[in-house]
Amino acid sequence: MSRKIENLEDDVVIRNGKGIQVSYQMHCTMIDGSVANILTGTNASSNCFICHAKPTEMNVTNFTKVPIANHYKYGLSTLHAWIRCFECLLHIAYRLTFKCWQVRKENKDAFSANKVRIQNEFRTRLGLIVDQVKTGFGTTNDGNTARKFFSNAEVASEITGINKELIQNFSIILRLISCGMRINIDAFRELLIRTRTMYLTEYEWYYMPSSVHKILMHGCEVIEYFDLPIGNFSEEALEALHKHIRIVRYDHTRKTAREHTNRDLMSYLTISSDPEVVFKRSAIPNKNAVYTMDELEEYLVDAEET
């Protein structure tokens, strides 16, 4: 497989009388945490796959674990990052009355009462169905729910009791890593440190999930590893393809054998990703992926400088 990748030839596409040379570089970033854990030999999903820190080591103020630079290549899984950060704040909110990571027997009632109150308030005030199990689909916490939560920081803070500034900081960080523009690393590093310090000051008792730790601790190094803005490596394209694959599989593949179906599907996807075809296809803007640029300018590199 790696030999085939090495032998990929450049494409030349003619656009408006000008030739554009397209060369290929493969990056394995369209993955979620569980795939990254397998690829990096991380034996527990709660551990960080970059520095192998355990949950109990995540909230240490003077963090000394050495990151493995070779693991930066798996990216930040920016789409899942929205959901993981949202769930982290939500789970802190459920525990705010007793401030303990582990829900002990004596705290179970308080936990359930907080959860029900927060879920009801999200439904009435923002129309969001939060943390409900969907049969066969995980939970209702998806990218859209998370985006709505972070874009309404004030209401979200009133409902959850979480520091509004912390929600806003997470909102800025998530929009920056998703927007597909170049990030000013110095300003971003300072924002990450400020956010982590704020988190540890108020919620040190809740072990930071590995996906949140990964962004706050290793975000800058992962961004610097790639030549293009980190937003371009999002697994959003893959997730958006699920529907497309379903339609192609149904309408354009032979059903004579599973092998035939997969072969036809792969051929169709290869053709549809050809640069010549991509240029001819009109882009359909994804309204959910449009992020407001408020407060982001100071963390972005000027387009003229790049």
Q: State the residue number with the nearest CB to Zn ion.
A: 48
Q: Does 51 bind Zn ion (CB under 5 A)?
A: yes
Using the contact rule CB under 5 A, the part of the chain among 47-55, 143-151, 226-234, 264-272 near Zn ion is 47-55
Would you say 53 or 223 has its CB closer to Zn ion?
A: 53
Would you say 50 or 212 has its CB closer to Zn ion?
A: 50
Q: Does 36 bind Zn ion (CB under 5 A)?
A: no
Q: CB-side exposure of 189: number of CA atoms within 13 Å?
A: 9
> Amino acid identity, residue 301?
V
Q: How far is the CB of 52 from Zn ion (least distance, A)?
A: 7
Q: Does 215 bind Zn ion (CB under 5 A)?
A: no
Q: Does 222 bind Zn ion (CB under 5 A)?
A: no
Q: How far is the CB of 198 from Zn ion (least distance, A)?
A: 19
Task: Answer whether 80's CB lies under 8 Å from 235's CB.
Answer: yes
Q: How far is the CB of 205 from Zn ion (least distance, A)?
A: 20
Binds Zn ion (CB under 5 A): choice among 36, 48, 128, 216: 48
Q: How far is the CB of 102 from Zn ion (least distance, A)?
A: 22
Q: Does 76 bind Zn ion (CB under 5 A)?
A: no
Using the contact rule CB under 5 A, the part of the chain among 52-60, 185-193, 197-205, 258-266 near Zn ion is 52-60
Supply 96's token pair: 């705010």
- Which are the contacts of 233, defined by CB distance < 8 A and separation ≥ 6? 27, 29, 30, 75, 76, 78, 226
Tell me the C-alpha distance between 128 and 125, whole Å.
Answer: 8
Would you say 50 or 155 has its CB closer to Zn ion?
A: 50
Q: How far is the CB of 199 from Zn ion (least distance, A)?
A: 15
Binds Zn ion (CB under 5 A): choice among 50, 167, 208, 220: 50
Q: How far is the CB of 53 from Zn ion (least distance, A)?
A: 5
How close are the terminal C-alpha atoms of the chain, in Å?
34
Would you say 53 or 128 has its CB closer to Zn ion?
A: 53
Q: How far is the CB of 46 from Zn ion (least distance, A)?
A: 12
Q: CB-side exposure of 299: number of CA atoms within 13 Å?
A: 25
Task: Answer whether 166's CB lies under 8 Å from 153's CB.
Answer: no
Would you say 80 or 148 has its CB closer to Zn ion?
A: 80
Using the contact rule CB under 5 A, the part of the chain among 43-51, 148-156, 162-170, 254-262 near Zn ion is 43-51
x/- map, 263-302, Zn ion, by CB under 5 A: ----------------------------------------
Tell me the C-alpha distance between 173 and 167, whole Å.
Answer: 10
3-class secondary structure, 268: helix
Q: How far is the CB of 166 from Zn ion (least distance, A)?
A: 20
**DSSP letters spanning 80-148:** HHHHHHHHHHHHHHHHTTT--SS--GGGHHHHHHHHHHHHHHHHHHH----S-EETTTEES--HHHHHH
3-class secondary structure, 12: strand
Task: Answer whether 191's CB lies under 8 Å from 172's CB.
Answer: yes
* Site for Zn ion, rule CB under 5 A: 48, 50-51, 53
